[in-house]
Structure 1
C-alpha cells in the first residue's frame, strides 16, 4: 500500500505541504532527519533551550505557529529518518533507529533544504573553524556559543547570527565583511524592483545598524583571508585598508547557501546552472514539478528562495500533487495558486538583488593556495586536483576517479561546488558545460547489520508524532 505523498524534510516547505495535503484528507508521510520538525530555520523553535527565544528574532519565533499547526495535523511525522534511496518507482528507503525501512509513495516531494557554500581559504579545515550555520545549530539546539569569535564572509545569515550573539550578551571579536565594493554598483539597478520586498530590506538594514551600535569592529571589502594557526585556529588574517589580524580561538565562515544537491542528483532529476546564485538548481515548473512526473521539489533544495518562499513553494507543490491525485482540477489549482505565485514573484525580485549584492569573490569561492584542502573526506589538496587535471581529468567524475575527491562520506557536498568551479576555470568553460558529480544510492554509509533489519511501512503504520 502506498502513501498518497511522501515528503522528505520537515522545514518550512515540507511542513506547509503536509498541512495542505492533510487538510484535504490525503495521506502524507514526512521523513525528517531532525529530532523535531522545523528544519534549520526553525530548529528547536518549540523546545528552545534559550531562556528567551525572542533574542533570535521575530521571524524565528513566528515559526512556532507553523510547527504547532503541523504537529497537530493528520500528517504522519517520522523524526530521525535518514533517506538514502529514492527510486523512480516511488519506493523510498531510509534509516531509522538502527533499521532500514521501506515505504512506497504515489507522489514524492523532496525538500532537502540548503547547505552552506564552502569557503576554501588556507586553514579552513583546522579545528576551531566552522560555518555560521554551525553557530546557529549550536545556539538553537543547545544554547551553546563561542565567546570572542570572528565572523567572516557576507550575506544575511552572517549578519543575523552576529546580531543574535549580541542580543544574548556574547562578545564578538570582529565581523570581517568580504562583500566586494563593486557589488553595490552592480546590484543598484535591481534595487527599484526589490523595493517590493521593503520589509526584508528594512530587516537587513536593521541588523547592520544593530551590529554597528554594539561597537563590534567591522572590516569591509576584505580580501586575502587566511586562518592563523598550525594545529588549530588562532585567528584570522586578511586585507581591509591594509593587512589586518584578529586573534581568536573560533572563526565562523559564511559565503551564502546553495541547494543541497545530493538527493535530487542521485534520483537523476534534471538540473541547470543558475549564474545569479552560482549554484545548480533543479529544473522544475512553478508548482515544483521536476523532470520525473511523480517527483516534486520545494524550498531551498531546488533553488534558494528563503523561508517565506519555501512556505509558498511547499503549499504550491501540495496543490499540484492534489491535482495529480484527482482532488483538484487544474483550473481550480491555478485559481487557488494565484496569490502565492504573485508573492513568489515579489520575493524573486528581492532575491535577485540579494544574490547580486552578495555574490562572492572568485578568489574566496575557489582555493588559491596549492596546499589548501579541497576534499575534506579524502584530504585532497588543490595541487592533487591540478595534477589529476593535467593527467587528463576534464570533468568532475573523471577527476573523482583519479583523485578520490568526492568519494568520502559527504559524497561531494563540500567539494562538489569547488571542483566544478575549478574545472571550469582551468578550461575556460561555463560551469554548465563542466557538469557535476554523478551520484548514486546509497546516500549514506550503511552497515550490513542495519540493512538486515528491514521493515516495510504502510499508511496505517506511518509513524507517530
Structure 2
C-alpha cells in the first residue's frame, strides 16, 4: 500500500470529474478530494440524489449532469468525499480534514478544480440576517428542498434568472426581480453578439427564462440603481431606484447576485501567479493553453481558471488530464496533442459567448465599489468602507497593509468576501490599475481547522484498485 498517486484532483465539479475520468481511463493512479458528500459541484449538486421528486423542474442544464456524475462514480479514480483540503505543498503533498481528523497524501501532479464563488455585492445592509446570495438559494433547494417564499431577488446574470424561474416552477411566490443590469450594457454588448451566435441555444434559454418570469406575473424592475437593504437587526426590505423612480419593497428574505468569480484562495495559497481579467473584473490564475500554472506540478481547470461555464469546464478538465498524462510519461506528447486539439477548438468556440455574457452582465461600479462610508466591506471583521478609507489615509496602499491596520481579510472566510472589493477600492483611491494593487497574500491552511483535527493526524492509505466492468 502506498500513499502516492500520479494525479490528485481537488474538486468534483464538471472539471474535476472529467479530469479524473480521462486520466484514470488512461491508466493513471488518480485520487479525487471533494468537500461534499456527493460529486457534482455546485452546478450538479445532488443531481443523482435530489430531495425533489421532479428534478426536471430545475431544468435540463441541471439534470444532464447525472450522466457525468454516474460516469465519474464508475471510473477507477479513488474518491475521498467530505474532505476539506487545507494545504497543497511544493512537493505534491496534500493535507486535508475528514470526519474530524487530518490526513496526508502525495501526488506527482495536482489538478485544482474548486469552481467559482459569487461576486461580493457590497451594498448598504448586505450583511444583515435574511440577506443571502442567489447561489445560497440554489444550495438550499438542491440539498434540502428548502425555499423562501415571497423573497426579493436582486442583481443580474443568468444564475439569478434561473433560480427565480426554478422557484416559480415549484409554485413558490417571488415578491419581485430587481434587475441591476445597466442600460448601457445592452448597447455595449451588441457588438459582441455575432461572436456568441455559435451558441444560440444558450442565448435562447436566457431569453426564455426572462419571458417565463414575466409570464408568471412577477414584478420586474429594470435598470435598478442605489440599492439599499433596510433594517437594523434583520432585513426588512429593499429600496432602490429604477428608471428614475424610487421604490421600496418589504421583504424578510433578499437574495443578491451579480455574477461569479474564480474561487482563488487555494491557487493563491499555492503561490500560483495570477492576473486581473478586465473583462470579468476578477483575479484568475495565469495559465498556458493546457491549463498549466506557474507552479510546475499544478494545473487548474474549470471556473477556477476563469469563468467559462459548466460545459466548457468539463472540456477543460479533459484537456488538463491529457497534459498531465504526457507530463507523467503515460502517453506521448503527440498523443496528448491529438487528444487536445479538438478540445481546444471546442473551448475556443465558447470564448465569443463568454465575452458577450461578461459584457452584458458587467456589474455597475457602484455595486462593486461601495460609495457610502457605512457600507460593510469585510463582514467577518465588520470593517466598513469608511474605516478602510481611514486606514488608506494613514498610509495603507496594498491589501496586506490594509489588513495589518484593520484586520480586513483575517476572518473565517479568509478574504473571500472582501478581497476583490479591497483590490478595486485601493486602485480607485490611488488612481491606478488593479494589477498594481494586487491581492491579499494567502498561506496555508486554506480552510479553517481546529487543534483536534491536527492532533488526529495520519497518512492516507491508498485504496486498492478495483477493476470496473464496462
Query: TM-score per shorter chain, which class?
Result: over 0.9
Q: Within 2, Cα distance between the matches of 1:213 and 1:361? A: 27
Give CA deviations for 1:270-328 in whole Å, capped at 9, x if unaligned.
11000000001111112111111111000101100100010000000001111111122
Please tell me whether residue 29 in structure 1 is matched to residue 31 in structure 2. Answer: yes
Q: Within 2, Cα distance between the matches of 1:343 and 1:382? A: 43
Shift of the alpha carbon at 1:450? Answer: 1.3
Q: Within 2, Cα distance between the matches of 1:210 and 1:329? A: 50
Q: What CA RMSD, in Å, does the superposition of the two structures yield over aligned residues?
A: 1.2
Please tell me whether residue 367 in structure 1 is matched to residue 365 in structure 2. Answer: no
| 2:78–2:463 contact (8 Å) kept in structure 1 | no
Shift of the alpha carbon at 1:462? Answer: 9.0
| 2:152–2:254 contact (8 Å) kept in structure 1 | yes
Shift of the alpha carbon at 1:458? Answer: 3.6
State the secondary structure of the residue aligned to 1:459.
coil
Specify which of 56, 62, 76 is matched with residue 60 of structure 1: 62
| 2:118–2:261 contact (8 Å) kept in structure 1 | yes
Specify which of 322, 328, 331 is matched with residue 328 of structure 1: 331
Q: 1:52-131 maps to which residues of 2 (within 5 A)?
A: 52-131=54-133
| Residue matched to 1:229 | 231
| 1:7–1:14 contact (8 Å) kept in structure 2 | yes
Q: Per the alignment, do residues 227 and 345 of structure 1 end up closer, same or farther by CA in structure 2, a change over 3 Å counting?
A: same
State the secondary structure of the residue aligned to 2:107.
strand
Please tell me whether residue 338 in structure 1 is matched to residue 341 in structure 2. Answer: yes
Give CA deviations for 1:370-413 in whole Å, capped at 9, x if unaligned.
11111111111111101110000000000000000001111100
Question: Which runs of no fewer than 5 residues in structure 1 stay unpaired?
Answer: none
The worse-fitting range, judged by mean Cα deviation, of 325-334 and 257-266 is: 325-334
Please tell me whether residue 438 in structure 1 is matched to residue 446 in structure 2. Answer: no
Please tell me whether residue 297 in structure 1 is matched to residue 315 in structure 2. Answer: no
State the secondary structure of the residue aligned to 1:280.
strand
Shift of the alpha carbon at 1:461? Answer: 5.9
Question: Which runs of no fewer than 5 residues in structure 2 stay unpaired?
Answer: none
| Residue matched to 1:250 | 253
Q: 1:303-322 maps to which residues of 2 (within 5 A)?
A: 303-322=306-325
State the secondary structure of the residue aligned to 1:392.
coil
| Residue matched to 2:9 | 7
Shift of the alpha carbon at 1:459? Answer: 2.8
| 1:259–1:281 contact (8 Å) kept in structure 2 | yes
| 2:76–2:465 contact (8 Å) kept in structure 1 | no
Specify which of 185, 201, 217 is matched with residue 183 of structure 1: 185
Q: Within 2, Cα distance between the matches of 1:446 and 1:335? A: 43
Shift of the alpha carbon at 1:460? Answer: 3.3
| Residue matched to 1:268 | 271
| Residue matched to 2:386 | 383
State the secondary structure of the residue aligned to 2:279.
coil
Q: Within 1, Cα distance between the matches of 2:386 and 2:80? A: 44
| 1:3–1:27 contact (8 Å) kept in structure 2 | yes
| 1:41–1:307 contact (8 Å) kept in structure 2 | yes
